[in-house]
Chain A
Amino acid sequence: MRCIKARARLNDYVDGLLAESDAAAVAQHLGECGDCRSEEEALRRILQQAHELPREIAPPRELWDRIANKISGHEEAALTRPRSASRARLLAKMAMVVLFLMVISAGLAVRMSRNTSRDVSAPAIGYGDCEEALQKCAQARAALLADLDGHKAKLSPKTLTMVNDNLRVIDKAITDIKNALKGDPENDRLKGLLVHTSAKQVQFLAEIARLVNHA
């Protein structure tokens, strides 16, 4: 056997992967060739050192505590942990929407308190004042319902029934207010009530989304 062939087989030889006859041929060559024997010895030294490397390294002591926390709460965490950055962003956005709606709703309440009666001299609250708020409510409601629909399996049947019952009640209230406004389109109190109720619905949905997403 020539050196080039012996060296090509050296790794398999020291790993014990060669067939018996091939291993014998390499061994014979190593017995005759000092250079190749030096190669073999250098390779075996590295393998010996690699074998002696510490395979066990003690992890930090507090690591088990962190793992224990994770596994003890992982069922709840699976229910409440944000599943993606997009969902976290949705919640952050909804928080801003709810804040905006609460401000608008409070503003309308203040204006209504100034107009304690159907005083024709007082500036009326135009429906346009409410339009932006109602539009935001509709968008937020749609986004939250879509999110909830995708994750409602995480809610217990009892909680889901409660959520649906509450949504039906608020939806009916909103429909009633809209019907009343059709008959009395200039009623500032009804306009304020419509925005307030819509905002409350978004707030309710945002709370449910937080329940599903957050630990």
Chain B
Amino acid sequence: MGLAAVERHLMVDGKACTASADDALVARARAGDASAFEQLYQKYAGRIYGLCVRLTRSPVVAEDVTQEVFVQAWRKLSDYRGESAFPSWLHRIAVNAVLGVQRAQRRRDFRLAALGWLRGRGGTSSGGDPALRLDLDAEISRLPDSARNVLVLHDVEGYRHEEIAGMLGIAPGTCKASLHHARRKLRKELEK
């Protein structure tokens, strides 16, 4: 993960959260302490749910995926070696779960657009023109899955191409090309 992404991941509710604090909670959760796991959930559920909403375009699907992510995380805690920060480990689980949903959606040719929901829902971020942010989110939701996944992970979440390529199972060059395509498309739509 890039340095900026690490810093952003480690900031929750304006407070710096050290990796060691997470490690302590993970150790307790791994030993079966559900309250420790709940603390990890309270810390990171908003980030995971936010990512899932943006990638799936549906708050309902995102809710199911978020549930699946944390249930999987609980079951796989023994596999977590601390080689990456806990939130990025969670993000990987989330991206995998979203990819599964997207594959299923493509199979069913079932398009879920959360445009209206996103328009009506405020975020926790400040800065910038709110109308522009909503337009941007709406346009992001209209991108094809592959372009949207890359753009959200790179431009919103701050991952590097190599990291995104690993998560999505694509070549870094493909990742870069998808990002440039997504940006071009966004610009074109936002300038209409």
Contact = CB atoms under 8 A, between A and B. Distances in A.
Asked if A and B are interacting partners, one says yes
Interface of A: 11-12, 42-43, 46-60, 63-64, 66-68, 70-72, 74
Interface residues of B, number: 49
A74 B74 contact: yes
A70 B72 CA distance: 10
B45 A64 contact: yes
Contacts, number: 109
Contact of A53 (B41, B45, B137): B137
A74 B77 CA distance: 14
Interface in B49-95: 49-51, 53-54, 62-63, 66-67, 70-71, 74-75
B50 A48 contact: no
Q: Which of A12, A57, A64: most chain B CB closer than 10 A? A: A57
A110 B50 CA distance: 66
Interface stretch (B16-24, B101-109, B127-135): B127-135
Interface string B145-182: 00000010001111000000000000000001001100
A56 B50 contact: yes
Interface of B: 8, 34, 37-38, 41-42, 45-47, 49-51, 53-54, 62-63, 66-67, 70-71, 74-75, 121-129, 132-133, 136-137, 140, 151, 155-158, 176, 179-180, 183, 186-187, 190-191
Contacts of A68: 34, 38
A57 B121 contact: yes
B156 A50 contact: yes
Given A49-B136, A54-B124, A71 B187 contact: no
B8 A55 contact: yes
> Is the contact region of chain A dominated by helix, strand, or loop, or is it mixed?
helix
B53 A57 contact: yes
A55 B179 contact: no
Given A64-B45, A68-B38, A54 B63 contact: no
Given A48-B128, A60-B63, A68-B38, A53 B190 contact: no
Contact of A49 (B51, B54, B128): B128
Nearest to B75: A74
A51 B155 contact: yes
Given A54-B133, A74-B71, 5 more contacts: A11-B176, A55-B8, A56-B50, A59-B46, A71-B37
Contacts of B191: 42
Nearest to A64: B41
Contact of B49 (A43, A49, A59, A72): A59
A64 B41 CA distance: 8
Contacts of B158: 51
A160 B11 CA distance: 51
B67 A43 contact: no
